[in-house]
Amino acid sequence: MSGPKLNRRQFTALAGAAALSPALSTRVSADAHADTIRIGWVGPRSGPLGIFGEADPWLSEVLKANHADGVTIGGRTYGIEVILVDTQSDPVRASQETRDLINGQAPDIVIASSTPETTNPVADACEAAGVPSITSIAPWESFFFGRGGRPGERSFNWTFHFSFGAGDFAPLYEDGWGKIETNRRVGMLVPNDADGNAIRAGLFPALEARGFEIFDAGPYENMSSDFSNQINYFKQNGVDIVNAFPFPPDFPVFWRQAAQLGLAQEVKIMQMAKAGLFAAEMEALGPLGYGLCTGAYWHRDFPTRSPATGLTSAQLATGFEEAIGKQWTQQAGAQAAVLDVTMAALVASGNPKDKGAVAGALGSLTAETAVGTVDFANGPMPGIATTPLVNCQWVRAEDGPYEFDLRITANALAPNVPISAELQPYRIGG
Q: Is 91 helix (H, G, I), strand (E, B) or coil?
A: helix
Beta pairing, strands 109-113 & 384-386: unpaired
Into how many domains does the chain fold? 2
Is the separation of the CB atoms in 336 and 370 below 8 Å?
yes
Question: What's the predicted TM-score (pTM) here?
Answer: 0.88
Roughly how many angstroms between the first and final C-alpha of the chain, as a whole number?
20
Q: Based on the fold, state whether residues 281 and 404 are members of the same structural domain.
A: yes
Name 368's bridge partners: 373
Closest CA to 345 of 63, 67, 132, 56: 132
pLDDT 10s per residue in the chain (430 long)? Answer: 434 444 434 434 444 443 333 333 334 333 333 499 999 999 999 998 899 999 999 999 999 999 999 999 999 999 999 999 999 999 999 999 999 999 999 999 999 999 899 999 999 999 999 999 999 999 899 899 999 999 988 999 999 999 999 889 999 999 999 999 999 999 999 999 877 887 888 899 999 999 999 999 999 999 999 999 999 999 999 999 999 999 888 999 999 999 999 999 999 999 999 889 999 999 999 999 999 999 999 999 999 999 999 999 999 999 999 999 999 999 999 999 999 999 999 999 999 999 999 999 999 999 999 999 999 999 999 999 999 999 999 999 998 899 999 999 999 999 999 999 999 999 998 7
On whether residue 423 sits in a domain, the answer given is no
On whether residue 97 sits in a domain, the answer given is yes
Cα torsion 329, 330, 332, 336 to 10°: value is 180
Name 375's bridge partners: 366
Q: Based on the fold, state whether residues 248 and 326 are members of the same structural domain.
A: no
Is the separation of the CB atoms in 395 and 430 below 8 Å?
yes
Q: Based on the fold, state whether residues 195 and 142 are members of the same structural domain.
A: no
Q: Based on the fold, state whether residues 77 and 92 are members of the same structural domain.
A: yes
Task: Find the CATH number of the domain harbouring 403.
Answer: 3.40.50.2300
Domain containing 401 equals 167-296+389-410
Q: Based on the fold, state whether residues 23 and 51 are members of the same structural domain.
A: yes
Measure the CA–CA gap between 182 and 192, rounded to whole angstroms: 28
Task: State the DSSP string of 100-140.
Answer: HHHHHH--SEEEEESSHHHHHHHHHHHHHHT--EEEESS-H
